[in-house]
Amino acid sequence: METRRNALIALALAAATAIAFSGVLGNGFVEYDDDLYVTERPEVLAGLDAEGWRWAWTSLQGANWFPLTRLSWMLDAELFGANAAAFHATSLALHVVAVLLLFAALWRLTRHAWPAAFAAGLFALHPLHVESVAWVAARKDVLSGVCFALALWLHERRARGGHPVAWSAALATCLALGLLAKPMLVTLPCVLLLLDYWPLGRLGDDGRFDARCVALALVEKLPLFALVVLVSAVTVVAQREGGALQNLELYPFGMRVEAALDALLRYLGKFLWPVDLAVFYPHLRASVSVWRAGAGLAVLLGVTVLAWRARRSAPQLLVGWAWFVGMLVPVSGLVQVGQAALADRYTYLPLIGLAIAVAWSARAAVVRQPQLATAVGAIGASLLLGLGVLSAAQVRTWRDGESLFRHALAVTDNNGVAHTNLALVLARSGRDAEAAEHLDRAVALSPGSAIAWGLRGESRSVSASLAAAGDFRTAIRLEPRSVRWRTGLGRVLADTDAARAEASLRAALALDSAFAPAHAYLAALLQRQGRDAEAAQHYASALVDTDVLERALGVAAVGRLHGQHAMLLQRMGREREAIAAYESALALGERLPLFVNNLAWLFATGDASWRDPRRAVALAEEAVAAGLDDPGALDTLATALAAAGHEAEARAAARRALARAEATGEARLAASIRRRFPAAVP
């Protein structure tokens, strides 16, 4: 009977979660970390291979190190390609598994099915958790959530079952996997100590602490703490290398404490009333009000004191509250990472503590007054239904980047990050005027944001190069090690100040010698100056990986680079290489008449090993038909026709070429045509 009941509860939880979050299957990727981690990462899109496996374990990305999460994305790409629905389906499936494991763990820990079901349901359906499920980049949350819930179950087995060594090894493995998915699990050993207090009762009798029991519990968890210390060190290095750790000048410690207390208050508010949720909440910095920080401190101290005093009669309050507060500490802002004040995804695991406190407090009330059972059950079911409806609505805001950031701007104030990212989305869809407005607003709201200045520089680079240069210089001052902004500055200065442009591009390459766009712009600059050998080297370096260039510059621009490289190679006498470069340009759709004509000439006049008169004729005819009706193109056509053995047609084309050359005053070309086609001379 008990097994059947639990199976039905699990089925109901899975179904409710799938229904509430089913909208994610119609969502796409969003231009906010999804591109950084997935859609613009060739290592991920290549699927599971040896090179990608090595990359997943040995490199840092986005100021993070989470190899297991990377491997999960790579598996999706291996199985389904870059299919957004498949990536979302995997995240939803992982969330469902985490929900079911949490229910199983809470039931085993307490043997109370309905409170466990409610706590798992609240974890499953709360709108604060939409971000973790609907955002592909947040895969680390649901993946680590599976490991976390499984670890709770394993800890119960270690405490009550046989073979504690085997269960301990399984638990350590589970924690290691969770940490490899997301470092948020650094607080898991402390959560297990809370469970040792209640409901396992391993720290003493009748709510009292026994020093020997506490010592044994701590010793038991030393291997887990060792794993935590190791991964914490790696995480700090990753965040420092990625520039995510904020310094004390921008975020003094006192400000951080005030912001953390304010965030605690806001998290509790969003737990109780989950509306106006956003992908990014701006850090209030110095504008954190004293009364809000004071209110946060009062709530922290007040609830802690009340929970401590009630620890014997209502131990779930102390455990649930300490769980919530303790798990928030790494993301509280005391060590400020990034620019956000708080984030919905940070509550994914901490909220379980509040769910436990609510669920078992409701059970205690029913135990004291059984007549309340029906009312409590109805209230609980209604709450879960309401949370599911709100979550389904919140899922829709994640359908694409524009929807996501317009919603963020609608529910938050002074959100420079949302303006910046909405501008990126608009610019990519060709709505440059709208994008410019949002970038102006972003710079005004976040004058210390290098990316806002840099993106505005990029948006101005075509129409206002002087203003763009100023934006890039500001971005570089704020982010001196940015290769992107130095490259942008070099690009906009290329036509007005070649020396400074070259210096900026070389500075970018000094920071990242493989940055293809910097090589490309430097090659074009050197080519214009006649420094052919250097230019050829930089073209070759730029075109090593055309995928990177296509993402940065677009397919057409890469095709043009191939064509410019080909012209340079042809001028240097490296004709075989020039042919390959022209072919690459044409394959990318960059069929400029000049490129087509030059390739036709090489096929008509080149070495016998690559000469192809029939192809030369076709290309020359294409160039002339495309509007390149100048004497040089007509001369190429005549030469190609002659090489193909079409003498009469060749003479006719030569006569047209000669007439055009004489009409335009190109005496040297006219003399060359007369010499090569004497029969065409009148």
Residue 546 has pLDDT above 70, yes or no: yes
Residue 474 has pLDDT above 90, yes or no: yes
- Rounded to whole angstroms, the Cα distance separating 386 from 335 reads 35
Q: Specify the pLDDT at position 326.
A: 96
User: Which residues are paired to 337 by β-bridges?
Assistant: 245
- Render pLDDT for 637-672 as a digit per residue (tens, 0 to 9): 888 888 888 888 888 888 888 888 888 888 898 888
Spell out where 267-376 has E strands.
281-282, 340-342
Q: What is the CATH number of domain 594-682?
A: 1.25.40
How large a percentage of the chain has pLDDT more than 90?
61
Per the listing, tokens 């919530």 go with 324
Closest Cα partner for 297 from 251, 334, 262? 262
Return the H-helix or E-strand segment holding 547: helix 546-553
Task: Please provide residue 341's backbone torsions phi and psi, each rounded to the nearest 5 degrees.
Answer: -85, -35
Q: Specify the pLDDT at position 114.
A: 96
Q: Specify the pLDDT at position 140.
A: 96
Average of per-residue pLDDT across 393-410: 96
Is the dihedral angle over the CA atoms 123, 124, 127, 130 positive or is it negative? positive
135: left (phi over 0), alpha (psi -120 to 50) or beta: beta
The alpha-carbon radius of gyration of the chain (Å, integer) is: 33
Return the H-helix or E-strand segment holding 56: helix 50-58
Contact 353, 328 (CB under 8 A): no
- Render pLDDT for 275-318 as a digit per residue (tens, 0 to 9): 999 999 987 665 667 788 899 999 999 999 999 999 999 999 99
Average of per-residue pLDDT across 265-284: 92
Residue 246 has pLDDT above 60, yes or no: no
Closest Cα partner for 270 from 323, 347, 381, 350? 347
Q: How far is CA 576 from the centre of its chain?
A: 41
Q: Which two tokens stand for residue 409?
A: 């701007």
Side chain identity at 540, as an amino acid letter? A
Closest Cα partner for 450 from 422, 484, 486, 476? 476
Residue 236 has pLDDT above 80, yes or no: no
430 pLDDT band, cuts 50/70/90, is confident
Q: Which two tokens stand for residue 350?
A: 């901490």
Burial class (CB in 10 A: 0-12, 13-18, 19+), 4: exposed
Side chain identity at 346, as an amino acid letter? Y
Q: Specify the pLDDT at position 182.
A: 92
Q: Which two tokens stand for residue 49?
A: 């291979």
- Render pLDDT for 132-177 as a digit per residue (tens, 0 to 9): 999 999 999 999 999 999 999 999 999 998 888 999 999 999 999 9
- Vertex 145 angle, CA 224 and 37, to 5°: 105
Q: Specify the pLDDT at position 239.
A: 63
Per the listing, tokens 């005496």 go with 667
Average of per-residue pLDDT across 384-406: 97
Q: Specify the pLDDT at position 56.
A: 93
Domain ranges (residues) in the chain: 2-396, 514-590, 594-682
Residue 556 has pLDDT above 90, yes or no: no
Residue 598 has pLDDT above 70, yes or no: yes
Residue 627 has pLDDT above 70, yes or no: no
Same fold, 514-590 and 594-682: yes
Average of per-residue pLDDT across 586-615: 87
Per the listing, tokens 């520039």 go with 243
- Rounded to whole angstroms, the Cα distance separating 492 from 424 reads 19
Closest Cα partner for 3 from 99, 107, 121, 109? 107
- Render pLDDT for 44-102 as a digit per residue (tens, 0 to 9): 999 999 999 999 998 877 668 899 999 999 999 999 999 999 999 999 999 999 999 99
Q: Specify the pLDDT at position 334.
A: 66
Contact 335, 251 (CB under 8 A): no
- The architecture in CATH of the region 514-590 reads Alpha Horseshoe (1.25)
Top-confidence residue, 551 or 410:
410
Residue 247 has pLDDT above 60, yes or no: no
Is the dihedral angle over the CA atoms 665, 667, 669, 673 positive or is it negative? positive
- Vertex 158 angle, CA 155 and 160, to 5°: 105
Q: What is the mean pLDDT of the chain?
A: 90
- Rounded to whole angstroms, the Cα distance separating 299 from 304 reads 8
User: How far is residue 450 from each of residues 270, 426, 473, 478, measured CA to CA in Å?
Assistant: 31, 19, 10, 5
User: How far is residue 502 from each of residues 59, 254, 498, 549, 567, measured CA to CA in Å?
Assistant: 30, 44, 6, 19, 21
- Rounded to whole angstroms, the Cα distance separating 558 from 555 reads 5
- Rounded to whole angstroms, the Cα distance separating 143 from 96 reads 11
Burial class (CB in 10 A: 0-12, 13-18, 19+), 663: exposed
Spell out where 249-403 has E strands.
281-282, 340-342
Contact 314, 364 (CB under 8 A): yes
Q: Specify the pLDDT at position 249.
A: 52
Per the listing, tokens 């994610």 go with 24
Neighbouring CB atoms inside 10 A of 497's CB total 14
- Rounded to whole angstroms, the Cα distance separating 356 from 318 reads 10
- Vertex 349 angle, CA 365 and 381, to 5°: 40
Side chain identity at 105, as an amino acid letter? A
